[in-house]
Structures are given as C-alpha cells and as structure tokens.
Structure 1
Amino acid sequence: MKNILKNKVVLVLLGLFAIISCDEYLEEDLRDAITPENFYNNDKEAELAVNGIYRIFHDNNLYRQRGLDNYYTHGADVVGPNRNVNGSIHNYLIAEGVADGNGTWAQLYEVVNGTTEFLANIDGNEKLTEANKNQAVGELLFLRALAFYHLTNLWGDVPYFREMLNPIEAGELGRYDKDLIRTDMKDDLTRAISLLPSSYSGSDLGRATKWAAYALKAKFHLFDKEWALAKSACDEIINNSPHTLLDNYADVFNQLDPTNAINNEHIFIIDFKADELATTRTDDYNPRIRDEPSNRNGNAVDEFGNPVLKANGTQMKRWEYFQSLMLEQEEDMQGYGWSVPLPEIADRNNWQEGDLRYDASIVTEYLGFQLAFPYYRKNWNLDQVNSLRGNHHENYIVFRLADIYLMAAEAENEMNGPANAYAYVNKVRERAFDPDQPWSGMSQTEFREAMYSERKFELAAEGHRKMDLIRWGILLDVVKSTVHRNWNNPAANIQPYHVLLPIPQAQILLNENLLTSDPSNNGYR
C-alpha cells in the first residue's frame, strides 16, 4: 500500500462527515460535487475511502512522529530524552491542557468518524463486488478497532458511537465504559477476521489482513485478562498464518532497502514512503552530529594514533573525522536525538549473558568511536541516500510475530502454569541467544515475573512497554526504581492516576458532558 491515496475526494469526504472539525481537508469547490449519495458507486471508490482512513494513521499525532510514542514509550524504563526536552510527558507533569494528548485524541476520532461513515455506505452496498466489499468492510472494522484500542488504552472511558451522529448529538456525547467499547471491538474483529484476506502482494502490502485482526483481538483479550481467548487468537496466528520468525533478530528491523521493508515477521505495519507519506519518527532515534561522538571537540587521530589533517593542514576535530568516515559510506547523523535508551537498558551488564538482541537493539560506539549517548540501533537509519532527515521511508511495526508468541506464553502461564508456556517463550529465545538458553523449572509466579524482563528486551522501544507495565500493575514501582538522567525525575512526580491521561482540555471546553461520569477527569482534578 505504498501508493496511499492523495485523492482530494477522500479527504473531502473525511472532512465533510467528521464530528471533530477538520476544515483544512475541505475545499469549497468540491463540497457540492461529492456526497454520500453519489460516491461509493464502485469498488475503486470504496477502496479510495478505505485508503483515506489508512492515511490518517500517518499523522504526526499518531504514527508519523512522536504522537503515540510519547505515551507508549516515554515515561517507562526503556526510552528517554537525551537532553532537557519532552519533560512534561517523561516527568509526569501532565495536566489538562498540558501534554494531555489532544492532537492524538482528535486524530483517533478522525478514524472513528471516517470508518463509521464509510461502513454505513459500504456495508451491504449492492453496487460493489462481494470480494471487494468484504475486504473494505473488514479493513474499516479493523481500523476502527485500532483507534478505540488506543483511545481506551490512553483515556479509559471515552465517547463511543457506532452510527453517525448529528453535530448536536456529537457535541453532547459523554464517556462510555471502556469494557463495553472493547467488547464491541472484539466482536467487530471477529467479523473482520471472516472478511479479510490472509495476505496481499505488490502495492497492497501493508494493508490489514485477518492475522492483523487476530493480533489486535489478542491484545484486547490480553489486556482484559481473558487468557483463553487471548491464547486462542495467538495460536491461530502461530499455527495457521504465513508469518514466521526470522532467523536473525536484527533482520526484523532492517529497512535499509525501501523496496523490501516488510518481512514475514511483520503482521501489521504503518507503511511510510519517502517523498509521499514519509515519517519523521526515525529522526527522533537518529543522533545529532552536534552531540557526537564523545569528546567531540578533541583532536582527531587515526587508528595508528597519527593526527588527521584537513586539506589546509590543520588538525580535524574528532566530530569532523567521525562525520567524514560516515559520509564515505553515505551516512550521517542528522536526527533529533530525541529518544535514546535509558541508562539501565543501555548497559550490557543488565542483559542476560549471550543475548544477541543487545547489539541489534543498542549501540554505544560506531566506526570505532565511543558515542556520547547510547541509541536504539533497531530504530535508527543513518542512510543519506534513501532516508534523509524529515523524509524517511521506515515503517512503524505495530504487531509482529515474536510479540504474539510472548502473549501466548503469558496467557498459557496465567491459565495453567508454565509447563506448556515454555514452548512459546523458548521459540523466541532460541534466536535471541547463542548458545540457546531456554527457560525451565519455574513456578507460575517466577515465569510471570521473568516475562516482565523478556518482553522488555525483545520489544524495547517498539511501543509496548508502558502498557505492559500498566496492565501488570507495576508502572509506578518500575518508574520509581529506574535510573533516569539528571535532567529527568519522573519518580518524584508519578501518581497512581497517571496510568491514564486526562480528557483533553480542548475537548472539555467543547463538551462539558465529558466530565459527567467522572468529574475528577481520571484523577487530574
């Protein structure tokens, strides 16, 4: 799906029927020409509508930049800023109107609005062929469920609707119990599974398959502690899908070739493409040359200890020599350096001996130079040919197979203890260690607590850690016991209510009913 639609028709439709204002999408000369009555007349128009929803997920407030990453990676024990930035979020100084996620909220409801509108016009539409109609409905159900997954994760109870509302109704809608919402989403995903194809090819790679719907359904069940249902959904993927674990952990994240950036372990990704719908998230993980390497302004010497001279005969600084070596292989450090490993996870001594994932995940030296900060190698791309600053092609991996194995292991242990859970986790660890270090001989509690670390190291900086800590009930304890850099002190500020965000102030000003069911606004008042 690299050729994601830029067609004005879909953007106008999304704007025309959105509850949350998005006037920037509307163009006056097209409002009278395009309406629900004269659109959705054929398979192509239905596909354009669905593509418009995918496009919303490419927004800065969701997957393109640090929108969702702000709340899924920062403020835990794996990612932090390399300087005094992003402090409101990382240090739990969140309040109504301060880092309350309003942009993310608005974009997620853009998805809800669009999918609900398009489902009303596509589902049961006799003008469409059965196969294309089924796929479109399945994708829309999945994408709406993904939006509510994020909404309920971040805010708990939220406004909920399954049919389009008029502006007055929308403006007065209160919050619904998240359990009700998630129950409906699981049902929608069951239907999506029956409608979606098993795989795609060519330009359609990246669209949601039935396995993506199974993965999201498994997440809902796992978060709701519905262990049997979670494991069943995971087993469907493990046993019946075309997805396989790659032999080499580092290969999972190798996206140097823009034409071959999706692999068999990826179950669902948000696909980006330079010059069309590019991502800037990579820049958050890419270093800044102004920071690197350590002792950057010292005099440069080569591997033999000889001074490295410029053309004018003066000695290069270490950073100049370092940069010149990168440029020789068409690389550079032109990122923001915003998101780097926290000190504990960056320390090899805190990883189990023989864990190959360390070098694939963390980098502390490059081209023989010690770096001033550690970085996430799995999330950076220094390529200056295909992946330029502000114009990166790297995909955001939302769900991958190793996560599914670990979820199955956790669910099995919670139901029956570790005896049959070992096979799942050891499948993941088999490629992670040399020599292999399988788990055995644990109690149920020991297995559960070992999974806290296993998921941390396997999935570091992939957007799972903070929600894992929240659902395990250990976020506060972990944040308070984690070493942070001296410009951050989340341990002093974090409170029990920080497991959720406050309903954004901008939304409350528009609709006071958002406080009716909870005047405390998730504990922030």
Structure 2
Amino acid sequence: MRKTLITILTCAGLLLNTSCKKFLNTTPTDFLSPVNYYQTDDQINTALTGIYDILGKTGTYGRYLFFEMDVADDAFVALPSWTQDVGLYNYDPSDTKINTCWALLYQGINLSNLVLENIDKSALTQANKNVAKGQALFLRAYFYFILTSNWGDVPLRLASTKSVNENNVPRTPYKVVYQQIVADMEQAADLVNPITAYTYNSRITKSVVWGILARVNLKMAGAPLRDASRFAEAKKWAGKVMTDAPHALNPDYKQVFKNMCQHIYDTKESIWEVEFSIKNGTQDEGGSVGVINGIGTSNATVGYSYGAKHATQRYYNLFGTNDLRRDWSIGPYTYTSSTSSVLIYYTAAQIYNRCDAKWRREFESSTVKFTNTSAINFPLLRYADVLLMYAEAENEVNGATSLAYNAINLVRERAYGVGLGLSTATAADLTAGMDKDTFREAVRKERALELGYEGLRRFDLIRWGIFVSTMKSIGNEITTTAPSGYTYGGVSGNNVSNRDTLFAIPSKETSLNSSIVQNKGW
C-alpha cells in the first residue's frame, strides 16, 4: 500500500504553497481545511493514509503493542537492567508507552472522523466513496477495539475535535463501546473491497473486516462482558472468511514469516499486515519487528537485533517433538558477532537463552539494514487465526463437532509438515471424541503454539479470565527453576495483580480530561 500512498503530514505542505496573489481573497480556496480539502481521489487517499499510518507508529504496531504491552507466559523481557516498565507490570500512569499508545489511537479516531464527516462532500464516484468510508469506519472501530480491550471503558468520540475545549468527555460503558465497534465494522463489511481487489495485504478488505469481527465477538463472549451469545456471531464471521474468500494456509509455516521479511504478499494466508518499508536507502516507514525482538545479535550482515524477548521454558515444552513451529518461533541458534553469518546452536539445556525468532533479519530483503528499525511487516490477521477462532466458537456453540475438528486440524497438519510430506494427517490431528471442555483447552493450547509473539497472547489470556493466575504461575516457575542468570525473567509474573487486566488511564488524559475516572488499582 505504501508504494502508492503518502503520509497525511504531506498535506501540511499545502499551507506553504499559498499564492500571494490570493492573499486578500474573501473566500480562500488554497489552504488545508475540511471545508475545501476532501474533494478528490488523491486527497481522500492521502487522508486515509494518515489513518493507516497510525498502525505503524512505534507506539502501536511499530513496537509497543507486540512487545512491552504483550508480555505474557510465552516470553519474558530479557533486559535485566529494566526494573520499571509497562512490560514488567511495574509502572505508573505517566508511563511514556501507555500515554503514547492512547494518544495515537485517539489521533487515528479523530482522523477517521474527519474522513467520515467530509467524504460525502467529495467529487468521488459513489463506489469510491463507499470504499473510502468503509475503511475509515473500520479503522475507527479497530482503534476503539484496541482501546477498550486494554483500558476498559473509554471516551467514545464519534465526531472530530473542533476545539481545544472539547477535552472533558466521560468514559463510555464498555458494552456501549463494543456495540459501536460492531455496528461500524458490520457497515464497513458491506462497503470495502474484497481481498482479490489488491495484490498486497495492508488494505482493509472484506476478509479483514470479517476476521476481526470474529475476534471482536470472541472478546465480547469472554471477560469481562461474558456475553455467550457472541460465540455464534464469531463463528458466523470466521466462517465467511473460510467460505466466501480465497484463503488457504501456506504449506510451510516458516515461509509465512519469511514473506513478511521480504515483502512477499501471500494474501491467502496473511490477510492483514502493517507494512514497513525502506526507499532509496532511507527509512520510509520503520518498525522494530525483528529488531527489538528477533534473534539477538550485533552482526551487521545479519541485521542488528536487541533480542529483548526471550522464550520461557514452559512455552518451549508446550510444543510437540515434531512440531515444526517450535524451532521457528523460538530461535535454536544465535549468530557470530563478525560480518559472517555462522550459526551457533544452543544446547538442550539452553532454553531461556533463546529468543522470539519468528521474524529473522537474515531474511530481510532490504539491502540497507538499520540498527534500530527494520522494514519487516507485522501481521494483524492470519488465516490460521481465523481457523482457530472458528474452532473455538463452534465448540462453544455446538461442542467438538467435525467442523471444529476440521478447522483446528488444518492448522495442526501444517504445523507438522503434512503438506511438505513430513508427516501424515493421522499423526498430526487431534484425538477424536473430546468433550467440550477438553476441546476448549486444546484450542487454547493451539492458539499459543500458532500465534505466539504476535501481540495476541495477553489478549487471549484476559478474555479467557486466566491472565493473572497464569502470569503468577509462570513468574514463580521462572524465579524458582530458571538458571541463575535468568531468574529475573519472572518479574513480570511476580508483579501482576488483578488491576493489570487493564492498563492505567494515561496521566496526560486524566490531567486534561476532568470527566475521566482512573481504572481500579491506580
């Protein structure tokens, strides 16, 4: 997408091009204003780019939402010098990360509101208006989904900010926010293009909206709302991705993530990605995928990585012996520090040494590799996730039916290399005849194995109502059983309390918004 789009900040340049001859015009037409800006395809696309751009910021999927704000039982922050941070569940409401993320999400909401308020005034064809409106509606709803999932009741702003005096907005009840999210997304589903309209996967398409609607409804069915009727809705929307769009799993699990490193767009498997890029030897849109996480190394040829997210032994042991995902998700080696790329494999005893390795800079296609940023894309929705959401929802509605088994077994068969001729379906598939409770646990385990390090683990544990107990358990396990050099890795779990199912309302918001109330425990 970013090959053809420019950032919304470019619009500000229009202010510098005002003609002196028109300076005294009573009705100016050459300055940036909602009244005279949202007129053409280029202007609407530029405005939409500004909304999409929020997804790639450091405060969202450039780093925070998959690293510090998603520390759970699969990984620990491998930076022993850190003693206070949101990722350690030891911070205060002035924390830069939660303040930045909150502000960016509301910035995206405001930009979405501007497009929605002005799109009908444009000269676009009705078809183009519909597509643009659908994207803006969905993105506004998605930003609210991130907000309410992480902060609970949040101010619901459905109109753009017109004045600095509009700060005092109270928190809207969680249920009402979700009703708006669902309404916006369902409307967007009818407006946006099918995924076949694009050769890349960073645009909002029907498949994206359907898949995220499945995720939203699963969250509504879980904690804290616990509306069980939403399982049927989750099944419906996941089912539409499976039957109404040309999606399929890539037979090679590793290739899914290599593609993201190389900007290869496999839209059958990877439905929605945040796209980062390098142009003309400079960072055009830089994230930290593979840099803050990834296999830690100072090897410039491979590409620098802090390796700041390490695997827990519990997560490593969760994988079956022949599960190909284990040694891809969890790095089995590191690199020499020289300019060569010789691999140094860990011993069987070296589990806590190993890094989150889904995105490896050795496969990054860019010829320029920066120290603190990369051009590797980040996935927001994969087809494997859709299959697992369908299996989960079907089990909750009808029990462990053949439909539920078929969905989860597709994921497991790929994990064991059935499509590569490395195993048989019989060896990979779940044991038949499970009851609902046993199958539920099997789905939860499979989500951990398939989707680890993709910014969804904390989200899943919270909606299942087991986040605090799981984190306390892993914190104690690391502190008491890890090698002495890694016992510090238990700090996140040891610090967790019930308040940490939500983040603190940022201090900047509470200082500006006298109508907002802080979350419990803060």
**TM-score band (shorter)?**
0.7 to 0.9
2:450 and 2:364 map into 1 onto residues whose CA distance is 28
Query: Post-superposition shift, 1:105?
Result: 0.2
Query: Post-superposition shift, 1:27?
Result: 7.3
Query: Post-superposition shift, 1:490?
Result: 2.6
- The letter for the 1-side match of 2:463 is R
Q: Report if aligned partners of 1:81, 1:337 keep a CA contact under 8 Å in 2.
A: no
Pick the aligned partner of 1:413 from 395, 414, 435: 395
- The letter for the 2-side match of 1:369 is I
- The letter for the 1-side match of 2:377 is N
Residue 273 of structure 2 aligns to a residue whose secondary structure is strand
Residue 369 of structure 1 aligns to a residue whose secondary structure is strand
TM-score normalised over the length of structure 2: 0.83
Residue 69 of structure 1 aligns to a residue whose secondary structure is coil
Unmatched 5+ stretches in structure 1:
14-25, 291-322, 516-520
Query: Post-superposition shift, 1:241?
Result: 0.9
Query: Post-superposition shift, 1:333?
Result: 5.1
Which residue does 1:370 correspond to in 2? Answer: 345
* Residue deviations 1:174-212 (CA, integer Å, cap 9, x gap): 110121111111111111111111025667652110111
1:355 to 2:323 alignment: yes
Pick the aligned partner of 2:252 from 235, 248, 255: 248
Moved more, 165-174 or 457-466: 165-174
Moved more, 443-452 or 79-88: 79-88
- The letter for the 2-side match of 1:2 is R
Q: Report if aligned partners of 2:308, 2:355 keep a CA contact under 8 Å in 1.
A: no
Query: Post-superposition shift, 1:86?
Result: 5.0
Which residue does 2:481 correspond to in 1? Answer: none
- Paired residue total: 465
Q: How does 1:114-193 map to 2 (within 5 A)?
A: 114-122=111-119, 124-125=120-121, 127-167=123-163, 170-193=166-189
Q: Cα 1:100–1:388, aligned 2, differ >3 Å: closer, same or farther?
A: closer
* Residue deviations 1:26-63 (CA, integer Å, cap 9, x gap): 97979971111211222221111111111122211011
Which residue does 2:70 correspond to in 1? Answer: 73
Which residue does 2:374 correspond to in 1? Answer: 392
Pick the aligned partner of 1:218 from 190, 214, 219: 214
- The letter for the 2-side match of 1:494 is V
Query: Post-superposition shift, 1:405?
Result: 0.5
1:111 and 1:359 map into 2 onto residues whose CA distance is 37
Which residue does 1:450 correspond to in 2? Answer: 442
Q: Report if aligned partners of 2:8, 2:49 keep a CA contact under 8 Å in 1.
A: no
Q: Report if aligned partners of 1:409, 1:424 keep a CA contact under 8 Å in 2.
A: yes
2:364 and 2:232 map into 1 onto residues whose CA distance is 47
Residue 380 of structure 2 aligns to a residue whose secondary structure is strand
Query: Post-superposition shift, 1:261?
Result: 4.4
Q: Cα 1:382–1:104, aligned 2, differ >3 Å: closer, same or farther?
A: same
Query: Post-superposition shift, 1:98?
Result: 3.4
Which residue does 2:428 correspond to in 1? Answer: 437
Q: Report if aligned partners of 2:261, 2:376 keep a CA contact under 8 Å in 1.
A: no
1:256 and 1:153 map into 2 onto residues whose CA distance is 26
Q: Cα 1:118–1:6, aligned 2, differ >3 Å: closer, same or farther?
A: same
Which residue does 1:467 correspond to in 2? Answer: 459
1:279 to 2:279 alignment: no
Query: Post-superposition shift, 1:107?
Result: 0.2
Which residue does 2:411 correspond to in 1? Answer: 428
TM-score normalised over the length of structure 1: 0.83
Q: Report if aligned partners of 2:131, 2:191 keep a CA contact under 8 Å in 1.
A: yes
- The letter for the 2-side match of 1:464 is L
Which residue does 1:94 correspond to in 2? Answer: 91
Q: Cα 1:128–1:384, aligned 2, differ >3 Å: closer, same or farther?
A: closer
2:263 and 2:333 map into 1 onto residues whose CA distance is 29
- The letter for the 1-side match of 2:473 is S
Which residue does 2:503 correspond to in 1? Answer: 501
1:396 and 1:256 map into 2 onto residues whose CA distance is 7
Q: Cα 1:86–1:415, aligned 2, differ >3 Å: closer, same or farther?
A: farther
Q: Report if aligned partners of 2:261, 2:375 keep a CA contact under 8 Å in 1.
A: no
* Residue deviations 1:68-125 (CA, integer Å, cap 9, x gap): 1245521x11122222155422331132223660000000000000000111000x33
Pick the aligned partner of 2:312 from 342, 367, 391: 342
Moved more, 245-254 or 482-491: 482-491
Percent of pairs with identical residues: 28
Moved more, 50-59 or 404-413: 50-59
Q: Report if aligned partners of 2:200, 2:267 keep a CA contact under 8 Å in 1.
A: no
Q: Cα 1:497–1:391, aligned 2, differ >3 Å: closer, same or farther?
A: closer
Residue 290 of structure 2 aligns to a residue whose secondary structure is helix
Deviating beyond 4 angstroms after TM superposition, the runs of 4 or more aligned structure 1 residues are 26-32, 200-205
- The letter for the 2-side match of 1:514 is I
Residue 96 of structure 1 aligns to a residue whose secondary structure is coil
Query: Post-superposition shift, 1:496?
Result: 0.9
1:182 and 1:11 map into 2 onto residues whose CA distance is 34
Unmatched 5+ stretches in structure 2:
20-27, 222-229, 335-341, 417-422, 479-485
2:469 and 2:295 map into 1 onto residues whose CA distance is 30
* Residue deviations 1:228-279 (CA, integer Å, cap 9, x gap): 0000000000011122111111111113763524442111111111231122
2:369 and 2:468 map into 1 onto residues whose CA distance is 38
Q: Report if aligned partners of 2:303, 2:369 keep a CA contact under 8 Å in 1.
A: no
